[in-house]
Amino acid sequence: MNTSNLLALRFSRVWFFLGMAIVAAVVTVCLVPSQVLPTVGVSDKIEHSLAFFTLAIWFAGLVPRRDYVFLFLAMIALGGGIEVAQGLMSLGREADIWDLVADAKGVCAGVVLALTPVGRWPSLLEGLLVQRIA
């Protein structure tokens, strides 16, 4: 991805690559055999929503608001791709449209929260880091 569309942040590339690590973790957890994963005692739909909420709020903090529609579509495409991959694998996973609905709910919540001051989390965090360093 071209990181030139990121907001003018001091550590924009760091935030972007950390976000990509979160994407890799989410995809990995969604695709490994379910028997390998620990049970956390909540619905898998909540897990999906929280994972995609995290991705949405993370990346929404890195891109301008005008790109939120693209971000939303990209996150939904990621969720859809995961569901297709689960359907094609034979590792104890199966495609579930309700997982994609849960993903979409998480993305919606993340993007809506990003419209508040919380969406400026990278700038706020960088301000705190710079104060500590100086």
Q: For 75-89, what is each residue's pLDDT tens digit?
A: 999 999 999 999 998
pLDDT at 132 over 80: no
How far is residue 108's CA from residue 75's CA, in Å, rounded to a whole number?
Answer: 10
Could you tell me if residue 2 is inside a domain?
no
Total tally of structural domains belonging to the chain: 1
Could you tell me if residue 1 is inside a domain?
no
Residue 7 · residue 62 · CB < 8 Å: yes
- The SS3 of residue 1 is coil
Q: For residue 123, give its domain range.
A: 9-34+44-133
Could you tell me if residue 3 is inside a domain?
no
How far is residue 79's CA from residue 127's CA, in Å, rounded to a whole number?
Answer: 33
pTM of the model: 0.89
pLDDT at 111 over 60: yes
How far is residue 117's CA from residue 59's CA, in Å, rounded to a whole number?
Answer: 14
Q: Is the dihedral of CA 128, 130, 131, 133 positive or negative?
A: positive
Could you tell me if residue 4 is inside a domain?
no
